[in-house]
Amino acid sequence: MGRKRTMALAGLLAVLSTSARAEPLEMQFAACTGRFSALMEHQWLIPTPEVDTTTRRRAAMISLLEAVMPAGRGREVLARRIEAKHAQAVLLTRATFNDDAEDAQWAATRAEAEIASCAALLTG
Helices assigned H by DSSP within the chain: 3-16, 25-45, 51-68, 74-96, 101-119
In this prediction, residue 42 carries a pLDDT of 98
Inside any domain, residue 124: no
Inside any domain, residue 73: yes
Inside any domain, residue 111: yes
Inside any domain, residue 9: no
- State pLDDT tens for residues 68-113: 999 999 999 999 999 999 999 999 999 999 999 999 999 999 999 9
Inside any domain, residue 57: yes
Domain count, the chain: 1
Does residue 8 surpass a pLDDT of 50? no
Does residue 1 surpass a pLDDT of 90? no
> What is the span of the domain harbouring residue 81?
26-119
- 29 pLDDT band (50/70/90 cuts)? very high
Does residue 10 surpass a pLDDT of 60? no
Inside any domain, residue 17: no
| pTM summary value | 0.81
Inside any domain, residue 39: yes
In this prediction, residue 124 carries a pLDDT of 57
Top pLDDT among 57 and 23 is at 57
Tell me the C-alpha distance between 7 and 92, whole Å.
32
Inside any domain, residue 49: yes
Contact 39, 110 (CB under 8 A): no
The torsion angles phi and psi of 71, rounded to 5 degrees, stand at: -60, 140
Does residue 57 surpass a pLDDT of 90? yes
In this prediction, residue 30 carries a pLDDT of 98
